[in-house]
Amino acid sequence: MTIENISVNKSFGGWHKQYSHYSNILNCTMQFAIFLPPQVVCGKKVPVIYWLSDVSCTDENFMQKAGVQRLAAELGVAIVAPDTSPRGDDIVDDVDHGLGQGAGFYVNATQAPWNRHYQMYDYVVDELPELIETHFPINEKSAISGHSMGGHGALVIAMRNPERYQSVSAFSPISNPMDVPWGQKAFTAYLGQDRESWASYDTCALMRKAKHFVPARVDQGESDGFLDDQLTSKKLSDAAKASGYPLELNQHVDYDHSYYLISSFIEQHLRFHASHLNQ
């Protein structure tokens, strides 16, 4: 459980730091970023929000583009952003977009050759939180959020582990990956042909059958070029109605898939999480 500090930057009275560590689950060296608000300087333990990024991103995208540090410092919450997949010269990859390095899809791969390294579900749910709680002043309260592929990961992880998270949110999530090209490509490679195994990583499938709820917020741009054929976020409404899931789904006219959407509404997401983390 050792970690190595890569970089340190002072920000809004707190600290943005990057670390590397060897992951026993992923069988490779991983990197994550953490923002620690100024409250930790006084010895206070703070709640944490885990952020899961999209295809081809690293831990740096959200921390550098979203403008999250000012409000995180005000609210007294830590932010943790892991990488989106295993990395390294000996890690199997795919030349096509949406599979391999940068695109772990937050599942536990069962199919060779992916299953040796691509266990991102277990990494985010178990290994990374243990690492964070061991090395940083984090209390028992946590939330999870993400964008696109990361929004898919955040929603699935929260619904499968409702006892672990006080809240969940997503921007432009891949809501029904079983029935869209991005998801079908990744699930076939990582999980094989058994569609029953796919359902355990499909937000709409999980939400329709949910018995235990985590308060959820989703924001989607209506001018997102991926909305109709890949994200299908509107299907979330029907899934939530089927089980009575506490979902707040917000549609935004003229917004697209980019970080302009995220930076425009990240304050509402952080305040949403803080309201549940501080209960």
Cα 25 to Cα 2: distance, rounded to the nearest angstrom: 14
Angle, CA of 126, 75 and 69, to the nearest 5°: 75
How many domains would you assign to the chain?
1
The active-site residue, picked from 148, 169, 172, 175, is: 148
pLDDT surpassing 90 at residue 69:
yes
pLDDT of res. 43: 81
Give the global pTM: 0.97
The active-site residue, picked from 224, 233, 269, 273, is: 224
pLDDT surpassing 90 at residue 96:
no
For 215, list phi and psi in degrees, rounded to 5: -50, 130
**148 an active-site residue?**
yes
Query: Kind of pairing, strands 168-171 and 216-221?
Result: parallel
pLDDT of res. 195: 93
User: What pLDDT, in 10s, does the model give residues 185-227?
Assistant: 999 999 999 999 999 999 999 999 999 999 999 999 999 999 9
The percentage of the chain sitting over the pLDDT mark of 90, rounded to a whole number, equals 96
The active-site residue, picked from 16, 147, 152, 257, is: 257
Query: Domain containing 205 — which CATH number?
Result: 3.40.50.1820
Contacts for 107 with CB less than 8 Å, ≥ 6 apart: 118, 120, 121, 186, 187, 190, 191, 201
**167 an active-site residue?**
no
What's the whole-number average pLDDT of the chain? 97
Contacts for 264 with CB less than 8 Å, ≥ 6 apart: 252, 255
**273 an active-site residue?**
no
pLDDT of res. 132: 98
pLDDT of res. 42: 78
pLDDT surpassing 80 at residue 166:
yes
pLDDT of res. 65: 97
Structural domain of residue 236, as residue ranges? Answer: 3-278
